[in-house]
Structure 1
Amino acid sequence: MTATPTLAHETKQHHSSVINPIKVDPAAPLFIVLNASSGNDEAVTVRETIETVLKQAGREFELFLVTHSETITNVARDTVRRARESNGVVVAAGGDGTINAVVQATLGSGCPLGVIAQGTFNYFGRTHNLPEDTAQATRVLLSTLAYPIQVGFVNDRVFLVNASLGLYPQLLEDREIYKRKLGRNRWVAWISGLYTVLRYHRQLNLTIEHKGNISTLLTPTLFVGNNRLQLEQIGIEETSIADRGELTAIAIRPVNTLTMIGLGLRGALGQLGEAEHVLCFSFSSIVVKPALFGRKLIKVATDGEITYLRTPIEFRAADQALYLLQPAPADVK
């Protein structure tokens, strides 16, 4: 990639007070979006647990069920509207897709956000000290402190953990197919990932624009991270700027299949940042587009959700923070 130095650190000043929380009214009503579209017993148990904890605490709340996944955007928007009218708190209860839909609707509304995370890897919840146990996570909603967190955008779509192009979205898509056939466990995820790497031979020929400078990049994948924990786990040094108005881009130079498998192992061992074939830089905003004309749509993954977005693709850190209810520091073990 040429002109990489032009993509150096560029911290925004408005994030300098990122650790300062806001006070939340302890009587503010909670407006909860719960994804029950799977229709299984687990969703029923989660609902009963949430209702029991909040009723015991005497907290006013309304619970909005998502019974069909395609309706989640409308449910989230309606929930945020009701929360604004009542000076309430918006709550997302579900996996990454549910959380992202609620964040998309909440950002810019002025409403604090609560999260009861049900995702598999749960990088977002672990980063912000949110309990995995449903009852404990529900009690965090009673907190009176909401801390600002950084949100990323790819075009007009939000992401909290990562967004990517190329090999990584294909890997996620293949993994879901294998999990539906063989079940959800680490071995299935590892085997499906190996299968994707062995058969994936496409390269992204990209141009990247940053602050008026244009560089070129040939890579099988472009990964943009917005989560300190995930970046640390794969061994990327740019975690020092996470949540300070910047995102971290990771790309791999064109390599053979065996080297690609080796890079995957290095990432699993937390040593990806030391690999010579890996390019890494931080930024607040970049525009990415295929170098070849005619390609209008490109596959994009945002926090595990696959979609197609129209080019050019812009990655950026949101100008405004989202305020998240978190455990008080004394409650974090």
Structure 2
Amino acid sequence: MPITPPDLAPDAPLFIVLNAGSGKHAPAPVRAAVEQACGAAGRRHRIFLVEQPGQLQAFAREAVERARANGGIVVAAGGDGTINAVAQATLGSGCAFGVLPQGTFNYFSRTHGIPAENEAALQVLLNEPPRAVQVGLVNDKVFLVNASLGLYAQLLEEREAFKRDYGRSRLIALGAAVVTMLRGGHRSWRLRLALRGQERDVRTRSLFVGNNALQLHQVGIDDADAPEEGRLAAIAVKPGHWWSLPGLLVRGALGKLGDADDIVTFPFASLTVKPAGSHGRRRIKVATDGELNWLDMPLLFRVAPEPLWLIKPAVAPELEAARA
């Protein structure tokens, strides 16, 4: 388990996993920006271009192997889902990790002060040191931004269908969420939560676990800084009339979700979730950083014992502004 930052040489090579399908960006400009910046800095690099979804995990593992052998940096160039997959391969390897954000929301990079523009992000990657970043786990599946089950996972699933039909933008994502909520028929879940040695049963439409201070500040909950303090933040949506759900979406957009009577929030370092009662699902659909997975019950949400060593600036302006 790495307990100190990786010892990087000034000319450490970059091993970049570039997802050609992330966000609205074509891979050619990213390649050009990498070639120019690395050429000017005298840095070796290799790009693994992901053209099919099945290539992502294999390329991530290969990038980590080459970085370990050459004292290099593993870099994810894509949206939050791509960054998640490459981080999963990098965590615990002892390698430094870098990001060239290419997604729609880019919450992970934004909360850590990494610019969205390729040239500026490359300057961070080439000049800043690795700093420890907290990682969330659910049944050993990494999440850097959030993990969820229930309604929120359904929103993400239907959002992807909207993106395939209408394109990728924040407006399309918001529209998909509104349509899903207005459709109604959302089930509630009976869950048993084990926290700090105690158990309690809850009914909820959705359980959301956040590991991103910027996202949590933007929706406006009291425990928004939990990820900066070694904890995760849970948000449970109480059962109620389906027509109250769009109101929660509006509150979140206005940064006032914490004022809603329909939610419960609490911070934690470890939380076990299982079905309440003797009969329940053995597997459940869980969204991690926007990607859907089938995971076995019970679910164990926890802070990873080791950090991710992210190349990033010391200050994140957008996060500081959200806290003000």
| TM-score under structure 1 length normalisation | 0.88
Separation of aligned partners in 2, 1:230 and 1:281: 16
Q: Is the 8 A contact 1:22 1:147 kept in 2?
A: no
For residue 124 of structure 2, what is the aligned residue in structure 1?
Answer: 140
Q: Does 1:309 align with 2:295?
A: yes
Instruction: Give me the identity figure in percent.
Output: 50
For residue 27 of structure 1, what is the aligned residue in structure 2?
Answer: 11
Separation of aligned partners in 1, 2:175 and 2:251: 16
Deviations 1:220-275 (A, max 9, x none): 00000001100001111102332222100001111112222212211111111011
Separation of aligned partners in 2, 1:233 and 1:65: 33
Aligned length: 315
| CA gap 1:26/1:200 in 2 versus in 1, 3 angstroms | farther
For residue 299 of structure 1, what is the aligned residue in structure 2?
Answer: 285
Query: Which of the residues 172, 181, 186 maps onto 1:201?
Result: 186
Query: Which of the residues 42, 46, 60 maps onto 1:76?
Result: 60
In structure 2, the residue corresponding to 1:172 is in which secondary structure? helix
Query: Which of the residues 37, 47, 52 maps onto 1:53?
Result: 37
| CA gap 1:329/1:315 in 2 versus in 1, 3 angstroms | closer
Q: Is the 8 A contact 1:23 1:144 kept in 2?
A: no
Q: Is the 8 A contact 1:225 1:231 kept in 2?
A: yes
Query: Which of the residues 30, 46, 51 maps onto 1:62?
Result: 46
Q: CA deviation at 1:64?
A: 1.6
Separation of aligned partners in 2, 1:193 and 1:217: 24
Query: Which of the residues 81, 94, 97 maps onto 1:97?
Result: 81
1:1-333 counterparts in 2 under 5 A?
24-36=8-20, 42-198=26-182, 199-292=184-277, 293-327=279-313
Q: Is the 8 A contact 2:114 2:316 kept in 1?
A: no
Q: Is the 8 A contact 2:135 2:143 kept in 1?
A: yes
Range moving further from structure 2, 202-211 or 285-294: 285-294
Q: CA deviation at 1:278?
A: 1.1
Amino acid at match of 2:74: V
Range moving further from structure 2, 236-245 or 148-157: 236-245
Range moving further from structure 2, 189-198 or 169-178: 189-198
In structure 2, the residue corresponding to 1:237 is in which secondary structure? coil
Deviations 1:167-188 (A, max 9, x none): 0010111112122222334443
In structure 2, the residue corresponding to 1:238 is in which secondary structure? coil
| TM-score under structure 2 length normalisation | 0.91
In structure 2, the residue corresponding to 1:120 is in which secondary structure? coil
In structure 2, the residue corresponding to 1:142 is in which secondary structure? helix
Amino acid at match of 1:86: N
Separation of aligned partners in 1, 2:217 and 2:315: 22
Unpaired segments ≥5 residues, structure 2: none
Q: What's the C-alpha RMSD, in Å, of the aligned pairs? A: 2.4
